[in-house]
Each structure stands twice: as structure tokens, then as C-alpha cells.
Amino acid sequence: MEEKIIVGIIVSAIAFFSVYLVTPILIKALEKRNLCVKDANKKENVMIARPGGISIIIGLVISLITFYLFFPIVEVLAVAITSILAFLVGIIDDRRVMGGWFKPAALAFCAAPILLLGAYDTNLAFPLFGEVKIPILYLGLIVFMIPVMGNTINSIDVLNGVASGFTSIASFSLTIVLFILQNYEIGIIALCLGFTSLGFYKYHKFPSRIFPGDSGALVFGAAYGAIAIVGQVEVIAAIAILPAIINSFLFLSSVKKIIEHREIKNPTSHTEDWKLQTTADKLAPITLVRLILAKKPLSEKQICIEIFKLAIFSGILAIITAFMMSVEI
Amino acid sequence: MSAQIFSFIFSMWILILVGGGLMVLFVGPISFAGFGEIDPIINSGIKVLIALILIFIWIFTLTKIKNWIFQRQTSS
């Protein structure tokens, strides 16, 4: 146990500081190559470096490889390779705008390492009621889960700091959950993701110096989904990101089809003092941000805080659910 | 508005717990024997079908709850 604590601290530090140190270099390199996009929520014509997925994947993979050297378990490889594949899908989407179905279809293939390495268990655990064995159905669930998680995190990457801050909160909640369930090794993997996203949050928070891009957001989502699968906490992991799931649910139930996020009408507009307000356009989709803004216009920073409050609430529900796992009716 | 979103998240959580219970209590124990070597495929196929129906009911219920909670906001 003592060894796991020490290794946990080492890999957490590696995850955080590698992203923390690499990201400023990446920002300079991207700005030098003019790989910048306009920040749509700033009054001035502010250009922000993108994609930051490069530093995210570096931090995550280095920390996971270090962990693998101490604990050579197949689950670490499964999470690392899945994340790398998701990064490749994201970087293609960052460079060339692909169709709405490209990401879900490509991300489904990213689940292959989990299947090929056998880093899963076909029992799906539910709180209070126990487990259900679904051998064939579970394989479909694995292929389904990575695209869903990837796109769910990607869909909330709409404001400065939201994707990285949200992933940090969800990953730390998942770490606590895995520790409660005494799944310490996978808990440390979740810790790596938490500290990677926290290191990136330093530069992504309001006002952003870098955007994660699809490559960063998809790494966050795919790594989170892979951890949920290898840690056998699929249901609890979904509970911890309920605000993001709600965002996707509201969006899909209003748009009623899968489309690339750049194609949609903006559900918000700006007030004179450059706060965000809900749009009057009835054809614009309903999103989490639009609901938060329904009562009154808010600044970008205030909306981020509201989303983080919802993430913490979901994290608490996930932790309560973890305690309920040990109780059986 | 935040209170309504919190209550929606809480509703989703309850629905997940209930849905999980239905899966474990009713879908999990389903077993059809007598079809020889294709038994596992038939069992899984039926479970998939029931799971899809449950997901459909889950989403339908969630949509109703969403409309109920966000009645004014979603129509604005």
C-alpha cells in the first residue's frame, strides 16, 4: 500500500508538471506557426493557440508509462493506447473539418486496444442491486462508450477552461470512487488524468492562452471512458459527468441528429457589456450553457463557475453511488 | 435556473439507479435453453433487445422530465 501511495504521488507530479512545463513551449510554437483561432467570446480580436492536445497527450502518456514501469498491468497500456488513438482522431479533426459522423465512427475504433488486450470484465456493476453478466452486449458497450465519452467532453468545450476544469473535477471524483472500491491501480490512472487536465487548466482557464482543440477534448473523453471500462465503474463514471451528458442530451433532443459542432447555430449571443445571453433564435439548439443563461446574462467566468458547481454536485452523487455499491438489497 | 438543473441531474441519477435495478433483477437472469450451441447468442440478443427498450423508455422519461422542469426555458 505504501508503494502505491509513493508511486501515486510520483506519477501525479509527472502528469501535472509535464503538462505545466510543455504547454508554454507549445503555445509559443503554435503562435509562431500562426496556428491560432479567434476567441469568439472576447470583445477584442483575441487569437488563441490551438490545439493544446499535444501537451495533454504528452503529460498523460509520460505519467502512464512511468506508472507502467512500477505496475506493469495491461489496463495501463489499454488506457494509454486508447488515448493516443483518440488524440490522432482529434488532430485530424483539428487540421481538417470532418463530417459529423467522422468522430463517433473513428473513436469507436479507438476502443480496439481495450478489446485486444482483454482489459475489461463483462460484468456490469450497478449500485444496490449487484452485477449483471452481459458478455456480448458488453463488447458493444465498450465500442459505444469511447465515442460517447469523447464527444460528450468535446461538446462542453465551449468556454475558456470548461473542458479541462470539468475533466479535472470528474477525474478526481472517479479517483475517490476507485479508492472507495479498493481498485487502487486504476484509481492512480484516474489521478494521472486528473492532474494532466489540472496542469492544462492553468493555461486554459479564463482568459485562455491555449485551447485544447478536438485533439485535447477527445483525449480527455476517451481516457476517461477507458478508465471507466478497465476500472469496471462505467455507471458511476457516467454519473460523475452528468452535466456534460445533459448537455449532449439537450442538444440531441433539440437538433435531433448528429452533426459537427461547427455547423450548429450559436445558442448564445452577447450583450452590450459583452456578457453572454441566451439567443432569441428559436432554431438554435438548447444546451447546458443556454439553460444556465435562461434567467439572466452572465460573464464567461461566471458560467464556468456554474458548470463547475454542477460537476462537483455530480461528483458527490458518484461518490455516494460508490458507497452504495457495497450495499446490496 | 441552477436549482432546476441540479434537480434534473438528481432525476437522472435516480433514473440510472432504477434502470440498473431493472437490468439486474429482470434482464440479467433471463435464460433461454434448448437451442443447442446458439443459446448464448439468443440469450444475448434478447437481452440487447430488452436493454434497448429500457433505454428508449429511459430517454422518453427523461425527455418528459426535461420538458416539465425546463418548461418555460425550453420554449423561450
Could you say which of B1, B44, B66 has the minimum Cβ distance to residue A295?
A: B1
Q: Render pLDDT for A283-294 as a digit per residue (tens, 0 to 9).
A: 777 888 888 888
**A→B interface, C-beta within 8 Å:** 124, 126-137, 140, 235, 238-239, 242-243, 245-246, 249-250, 253-254, 278, 286, 288, 291-292, 294-295, 306, 309-310, 313-314, 317, 321, 324, 329
Q: Tell me what pLDDT residue A205 has.
A: 93
Q: How far apart are CA A55 and CA A27, in angstroms?
A: 10
- E strand or H helix that includes residue A123: strand A123-126
Q: Which three cell numbers stand for residue A246?
A: 445533459
* B73 reaches A (C-beta below 8 A): yes
Q: Is A133 helix (H, G, I), strand (E, B) or coil?
A: strand
Q: Which three cell numbers stand for residue A295?
A: 434567467
Q: How far apart are CA A286 and CA A134, in angstroms?
A: 35
CB neighbours of residue A159 within 10 Å: 21
Instruction: For residue A40, give Cα distances in angstroms to A153, A160, A214, A275.
Output: 19, 10, 16, 12
Q: Tell me what pLDDT residue A183 has.
A: 92
> Which residues from A are below 8 Å from B21, CB to CB?
126, 128-129, 329
Residues 17-36 of B with CB under 8 A from A: 17, 20-21, 23-25, 27-28
> Which residues from B are below 8 Å from A124, CB to CB?
23
ipTM tops the 0.95 cut: no
Angstroms from B29 CA to nearest CA on chain A: 8
Helical ranges in chain A per DSSP H: 2-32, 53-70, 74-95, 102-110, 112-116, 135-155, 162-180, 184-204, 213-230, 234-240, 242-255, 288-292, 300-325
> Which residues from A are below 8 Å from B12, CB to CB?
242, 245-246
Long-range contacts formed by A85-88: CB under 8 A, 24+ apart: A85/A109, A85/A110, A85/A112, A85/A113, A85/A222, A86/A110, A86/A146, A86/A150, A86/A218, A86/A219, A86/A221, A86/A222, A86/A223, A87/A53, A87/A56, A87/A57, A87/A215, A87/A218, A87/A219
User: Is the backbone of residue A210 left (phi > 0), alpha (psi -120 to 50) or beta?
Assistant: beta
DSSP state of A260: -
Could you say which of A242, A288, A294 has the minimum Cβ distance to residue B13?
A: A242
Q: Is A109 helix (H, G, I), strand (E, B) or coil?
A: helix
Low-confidence ranges of chain B (pLDDT < 70): 1, 32-40, 70-76
Q: Render pLDDT for A104-138 as a digit per residue (tens, 0 to 9).
A: 888 899 989 999 988 888 777 788 777 777 777 78
Question: Residue B25: closest CA among chain A residues belongs to which residue?
Answer: A129
Q: Which three cell numbers stand for residue A123?
A: 460484468
Q: How far apart are CA B45 and CA B30, in angstroms?
A: 11
- Residue A100, classified by CB atoms within 10 Å of its CB into exposed (0-12), middle (13-18) or buried (19+), is middle
Return the minimum-mean-pLDDT range out of A104-108, A241-245, A273-277. Answer: A273-277
Over range A192-207, report the average pLDDT.
95
Q: Which three cell numbers stand for residue A299?
A: 460573464
pLDDT band at residue A327 using 50, 70 and 90 as cut-offs: low
Q: Which three cell numbers stand for residue A146?
A: 469511447
- Mean pLDDT rounded to a whole number for chain A: 88
| Cβ–Cβ below 8 Å for A128 and B21 | yes
Helical ranges in A33-134 per DSSP H: 53-70, 74-95, 102-110, 112-116
Q: Please say if the pLDDT value at position A20 is more than 80.
A: yes
Q: Which three cell numbers stand for residue A51?
A: 490545439
| Cβ–Cβ below 8 Å for B23 and A253 | no
Angle at A292 between CA A206 and CA A300, to 5 degrees: 15
Question: Residue B42: closest CA among chain A residues belongs to which residue?
Answer: A136
Q: Tell me what pLDDT residue A61 has.
A: 96
Over range A256-273, report the average pLDDT.
70
| Cβ–Cβ below 8 Å for A132 and B74 | no
* B41 reaches A (C-beta below 8 A): yes
Question: Residue B58: closest CA among chain A residues belongs to which residue?
Answer: A249
Angstroms from A217 CA to nearest CA on chain B: 22
Angstroms from B6 CA to nearest CA on chain A: 7
Q: Which three cell numbers stand for residue A110?
A: 479507438
CB neighbours of residue A129 within 10 Å: 20
